[in-house]
């Protein structure tokens, strides 16, 4: 069976582990363990009788619900069959430019979609080698190390020297992982180029500040920002650019509604951008991309403020505990991040760790072989329940100990 390039491939994992797929504890897909919300399940059950009719091709009720939740005019919203479908149309637009800047390591579907349309891709790598472990000066009483990463990413727009970003609203754990400046020691000349960026960044968890991205909105003809994991931050900590779309018609935001609400099987996402762009996308794609049950469940969960609060209260504590548990294991170096996953560097082959975890403990982690910049020395794990996280730590401890003896 072919090694998967995405997380969440339980069929592959079950074959390797020799057990049913339902027996696998999945840390490879960054999906909330708290859902699906009961509000989504109730909406699905109540709309089963609607399956005999086609969905509304305009998705008026769904766009209205999204507009209310995102504080955006519904005309500026396009629902999609997951954000991956909408990425396809963003990539088509980007392919018409001279080139597209892509911050790497990057979600593999970005390159796939861009190259499918013949786009010229200019990789802009995060300098992970310059990342250092430091004591967080804003948490003087803590003995816990924080992570600071170099901010060399993109060519600096010629009118920009530096942007200060105030991060008082961010928790201490996140504060050292907000990048105030996007820069490389290469001047950005006026050119017909675009930018594709995800924020928070996958797989590092790095959170870019709005003011750091704004100069690119002022200079580049098209900027696409994938905010698939932004919902995991409470409103006071978000760096979303949704509020900027009316000012910048060259900005498109992609959002996923499946990770936060634990509904990846329904496939639901949306794009926020200028109506002229979204109307063109709508004309290019197949009709009825969002099914009736997905539309109903989405409208319901967007009103579920109780589930939102539960998630925002759970994640910081669970993420910190998982980070500290991973940091205590020999040979592992976790990277703090702003989303519901952690990137981990390993001194041992991750392929061996992944295989042993599956065979011995039926636990699946996300290798980073599909990220060429990371390879076999990095893996990513979702933040799950406390019991699941403790099971992962125990499994990793046993596997690392055994692999160290074998080597």
Task: Show me where the domains of the chain are located.
Answer: 10-30+306-406, 39-305
pLDDT at 1 over 90: no
What is the predicted pLDDT for the residue at 7? 62
The matching CATH number, chosen from 3.90.1150.10, 3.40.640.10, 1.10.340.30, 3.40.50.1580, for 39-305 is: 3.40.640.10
Contact 341, 198 (CB under 8 A): no
Between CA 98 and CA 378 the distance in angstroms is 33
Between CA 258 and CA 203 the distance in angstroms is 17
The band of 33, judged by pLDDT with boundaries at 50, 70 and 90, is: very high
pLDDT at 237 over 50: yes
Residue 17 CB burial class (10 angstroms; 0-12, 13-18, ≥19): buried
List, in order, residues 6 or more apart from 54 with CB less than 8 Å away.
288
What is the predicted pLDDT for the residue at 292? 97
What is the predicted pLDDT for the residue at 315? 97
Contact 77, 272 (CB under 8 A): yes
Token pair for 159? 């009118």
The band of 372, judged by pLDDT with boundaries at 50, 70 and 90, is: confident
What is the predicted pLDDT for the residue at 11? 83
What is the predicted pLDDT for the residue at 156? 41
How distant, in Å, are the alpha carbons of 26, 328, 349, 368, 374 from that of 354? Answer: 12, 19, 9, 11, 15
What is the predicted pLDDT for the residue at 182? 46
The band of 137, judged by pLDDT with boundaries at 50, 70 and 90, is: very low
Contact 196, 114 (CB under 8 A): yes
More confident residue, 52 or 209: 52
More confident residue, 146 or 120: 120
Among candidate residues 234, 197, 238, the one with its CA nearest the CA of residue 216: 197
Question: What is the dotted CATH code of the domain comprising 10-30+306-406?
Answer: 3.90.1150.10
Residue 317 CB burial class (10 angstroms; 0-12, 13-18, ≥19): exposed
pTM of the model: 0.86
The mean pLDDT value of the chain amounts to 85
124 strand-pairing partners? 103
Give the whole-number percent of the chain exceeding pLDDT 90: 68
pLDDT at 148 over 70: no
pLDDT at 139 over 50: no
Measured torsion, CA atoms of residues 328, 323, 124, 3, in degrees rounded to the nearest 10: 80
Q: Which of 174-178, 196-200, 384-388 has the lowest mean pLDDT?
A: 174-178
pLDDT at 240 over 70: yes
The band of 88, judged by pLDDT with boundaries at 50, 70 and 90, is: very high
More confident residue, 18 or 278: 278
pLDDT at 104 over 70: yes
What is the predicted pLDDT for the residue at 279? 97
Region 142-170: mean pLDDT is: 37
């Amino acid at each position: 069976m072919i090694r998967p390039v995405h997380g969440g491939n339980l069929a592959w994992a079950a074959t390797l582990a020799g057990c049913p797929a339902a027996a696998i504890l999945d840390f490879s897909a960054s999906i909330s363990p708290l859902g699906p919300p009961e509000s989504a399940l109730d909406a699905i059950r109540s709309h089963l009788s609607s399956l005999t009719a086609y969905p509304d091709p305009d998705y008026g009720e769904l766009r209205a619900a999204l507009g209310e939740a995102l504080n955006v005019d519904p005309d500026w919203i396009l629902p999609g069959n997951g954000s991956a479908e909408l990425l396809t149309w963003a990539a088509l637009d980007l392919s018409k430019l001279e080139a597209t800047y892509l911050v790497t390591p990057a979600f593999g579907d970005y390159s796939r979609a861009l190259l499918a349309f013949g786009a010229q891709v200019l990789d802009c790598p995060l300098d992970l080698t310059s990342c250092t472990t430091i004591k967080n000066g804003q948490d003087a009483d803590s003995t816990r190390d924080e992570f600071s990463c170099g901010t060399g990413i993109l060519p600096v727009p010629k009118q920009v020297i530096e942007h200060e970003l105030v991060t008082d609203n961010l928790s201490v754990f996140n504060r050292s992982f907000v990048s105030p400046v996007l820069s490389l020691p290469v001047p950005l000349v006026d050119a017909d180029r675009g930018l594709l960026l995800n924020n928070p960044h996958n797989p590092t968890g790095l959170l870019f500040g709005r003011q750091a991205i704004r100069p690119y909105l002022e200079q580049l003809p098209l900027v696409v920002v994938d905010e698939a994991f932004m919902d995991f931050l409470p409103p006071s900590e978000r760096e979303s650019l949704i509020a900027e779309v009316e000012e910048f018609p060259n900005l498109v935001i992609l959002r996923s509604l499946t990770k936060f609400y634990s509904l990846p099987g329904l496939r639901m996402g949306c794009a926020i951008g200028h109506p002229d762009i979204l109307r063109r996308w709508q004309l290019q794609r197949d009709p009825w991309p969002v099914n009736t049950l997905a539309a109903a469940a989405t409208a319901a969960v967007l009103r579920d403020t109780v589930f939102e609060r539960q998630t925002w209260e759970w994640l910081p504590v669970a993420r910190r505990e998982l980070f500290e548990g991973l940091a205590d294991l020999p040979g592992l170096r976790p990277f703090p991040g702003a989303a519901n996953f952690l990137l981990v560097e390993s001194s041992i082959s991750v392929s061996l760790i992944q295989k042993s975890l599956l065979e011995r403990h039926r636990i699946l982690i996300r290798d980073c072989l599909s990220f060429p910049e990371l390879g076999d020395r990095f893996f990513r794990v979702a933040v799950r329940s406390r019991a699941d996280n403790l099971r992962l730590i125990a499994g990793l401890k046993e596997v690392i100990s055994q692999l160290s003896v074998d080597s």
